[in-house]
Amino acid sequence: MMAAKKVSKKIVVLGDPAVGKTSLIRRFVINAFDDKYLTTIGAKIVKKEVQLRSGGAKPDIDVTLMIWDVAGQKTLGNVKQAYYRGSEGAMIVCDITRRETLLSTIDWIKTLMQVTGEIPVVLLANKCDLMDKALFGEKEMSEVSKKLNASFMMTSAKDGRNVGEAFQNISESMLEGMS
């Protein structure tokens, strides 16, 4: 049996205030790495390991995700560049009950990639437990994600659906091609 490779990757979680970024991270992460806000850069960082199983032909990969969450109500304009720097993947979150949060995803990605260049992105349509209040759905997500060359998933931090899958998805995208 081959030993698993170990890698560490920084990902950022972005999106308009109150879309559910912190709730998604909290749902996913059990182990708080640094619970204090790093006030100089205005971020909170937690880590969690994801295992990528190769199916035997190649070694498995243990990915330690360093997940960066903006502290407080950060809007696009006041997220500092230090937050984006060194990110190798991103989750961009919107809220299915607020259409403007979907349009914002485009700006979040553009601003991010001005710092990082092209990196893997997964778009998350969060609060899918609130289907009766939904103002957009998979069709719109599919259109936007195609435009942005990203994948998308429908999540709920409340009931947990697709949350683990979303972090698995971004991990796989970042490590595509690595053996």
Q: What residues make contact with ligand G3D under the rule CB under 6 A?
A: 15, 17-23, 126-127, 129-130, 156-158
Between residues 9 and 74, which has the closer beta carbon with respect to Mg ion?
A: 74
Residue nearest to Mg ion (CB): 22
Residue with tokens 């205030």: 17
Question: What residue has token string 């009931």?
Answer: 159
DSSP, res 147: H
* Residue 129 touches which member of Mg ion, ligand G3D, none, C-beta under 5-8 Å by kind: ligand G3D
6-25 binders of Mg ion (CB under 5 A): 21-22
CB of 160 to ligand G3D, least distance (A): 9
Q: Is residue 173 part of the contact set for Mg ion (CB under 5 A)?
A: no
In the complex, the smallest distance separating the C-beta of residue 68 from ligand G3D, rounded to whole angstroms, is 12
Per CB under 5 A, contacts with Mg ion among 22-81 are 22
Smaller CB separation from ligand G3D, 122 or 157: 157
Question: Residue 105, class by beta-carbon neighbours within 10 Å (0-12 exposed, 13-18 middle, 19+ buried)?
Answer: buried
Own/partner long-range contacts of 151-154 (Cβ < 8 Å, ≥24 apart): 151/121, 151/122, 151/123, 152/122, 152/123, 152/124, 152/125, 153/122, 153/123, 153/124, 153/125, 154/96, 154/124, 154/125, 154/128
27 binds, among Mg ion, ligand G3D, none (CB under 5 to 8 A by kind): none
Minimum CB distance to Mg ion, residue 71 (Å): 7
Q: At what angle do helices 99-116 and 138-148 cross, to 10 degrees?
A: 20
Binding site for Mg ion (CB under 5 A): 21-22
